Amino acid sequence: MKTSLIKDKSFEFALSIIQLYKTLQQNKEFIISKQLLRSGTGIGANVSEALAGESRADFLHKMAIASKEARETIYWLELLDKSNLVNNNYQKHIEDCMSIVKILTAIVHTTKSNLKSKT
């Protein structure tokens, strides 16, 4: 089976978010941690759906959703970082997520260009 960089990166990122979620829960942070868990794991779920898309348009739509989930995840991470609700180093998670956003943005732009050139 062919490997996908974005699928692998988003899966590994989801695993790290699950670990962060556990830490946040142990520190009694229940609200933002749940939002973070949903958006952080949603990236990979949408990438997986995109890779099994029914059409190029479906692929594009799911990758765009994954990109939005990644941007939302950065928001929650930055909010946790700046609010000091739970003292933790969130910078590595933020950097990893920004890297995912860059890849997804490139995929979305390239796919859009390719769809336009075919019409």
- Tell me the CA end-to-end span of the chain in Å, nearest whole number: 31
In the chain, the domains with their CATH numbers are 5-117 (1.20.1440.60)
CA atoms of 94 and 99, how far apart (whole Å): 9
Q: What is the pLDDT of residues 24-73, one digit of tens each?
A: 999 999 999 999 999 999 999 999 999 999 999 999 999 999 999 999 99
Q: What is the tens place of the pLDDT at every residue in 61-111?
A: 999 999 999 999 999 999 999 999 999 999 999 999 999 999 999 999 999
In 3D space, the residue among 79, 73, 93 whose CA is nearest the CA of residue 20 turns out to be 93
Structure tokens at 68: 């939005």
Which tokens in the block code for residue 74?
A: 């950065």
* Angle, CA of 61, 107 and 78, to the nearest 5°: 85
